[in-house]
């Protein structure tokens, strides 16, 4: 059965470019991003892994660890990382899983037969400290991921995990947020002392509470 939002992300042990890991131990008490690539030495994935490496500090300040996956073996990963670093002006120092037996790919439903019988689709999972799946995005092989969007979603997930708010369309960190319907209007001033606006009874906004 395929994973759904809110499911516990399956744990696994795997060989990676950074040595053997246990997924849960690697994540610790923080957040995680697990993302798959159809194969090594593919052009779109080369740019994606390079971009992820360039954003190392952005992930770190959000307490997020990243972990990539390809169905190719470790020796190919090593050669590919060299190419990525050279062409993308990057330093890939996060683990890339060598999932030759497709164990992890199957756990996370990354093999879509109508797309490819052997290679993974370009899936990305955000996993919370509770080890639950918070977000899933699957891209076709032809379209590179938007890592600014990945960071934006992480900002939203971390904010809404701690406050009774939701984030509107195109929201970015620092902008106003929506007070959830679980908070009665009369309780908003106490819960959100920065002020609020009532646009409709069901649409109440407030400045981002942790800024």
Residues tagged active-site: 45
What proportions of the chain, in percent to the nearest 5, are helix, strand and coil?
A: 30, 25, 45
Contacting residues for 123 by C-beta, under 8 A, at least 6 apart: 35, 36, 108, 109, 110, 136, 137, 138, 139
**CA 135/CA 180 separation, integer angstroms:** 19
Nearest alpha-carbon partner for 141 in 70, 87, 90: 70
Three-state SS annotation for 65-119 = EEEEEECCCHHHHHHHHHHHHHHHCCCCCCCEEECCCCHHHHHCCCCCCCCCCCC
């Amino acid at each position: 059965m395929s994973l759904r939002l809110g499911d516990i992300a399956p744990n696994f042990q795997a060989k990676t470019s950074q040595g053997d890991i246990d997924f849960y131990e690697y994540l610790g008490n923080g957040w995680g991003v697990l993302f798959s690539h159809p194969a090594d030495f593919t052009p779109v994935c080369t740019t994606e892994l390079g971009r992820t490496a360039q954003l190392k500090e952005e992930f770190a300040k959000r307490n997020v660890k990243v972990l990539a996956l390809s169905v190719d073996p470790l020796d190919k990963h090593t050669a590919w990382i060299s190419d990525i670093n050279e062409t993308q002006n990057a330093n890939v120092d996060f683990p890339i899983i060598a999932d030759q037996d497709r164990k992890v790919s199957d756990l996370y439903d990354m093999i879509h037969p109508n797309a490819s019988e052997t290679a993974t689709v370009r899936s990305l999972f955000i996993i919370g400290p509770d080890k639950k799946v918070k977000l899933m995005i699957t891209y076709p092989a032809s379209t590179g991921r938007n890592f600014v969007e990945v960071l934006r979603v992480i900002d939203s997930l971390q904010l809404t995990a701690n406050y009774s708010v939701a984030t509107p369309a195109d929201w970015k960190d620092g902008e106003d947020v929506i007070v959830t319907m679980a908070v009665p209007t009369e309780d908003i001033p106490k819960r959100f002392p920065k002020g609020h606006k009532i646009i409709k009874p069901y649409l109440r906004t407030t400045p981002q509470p942790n800024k």
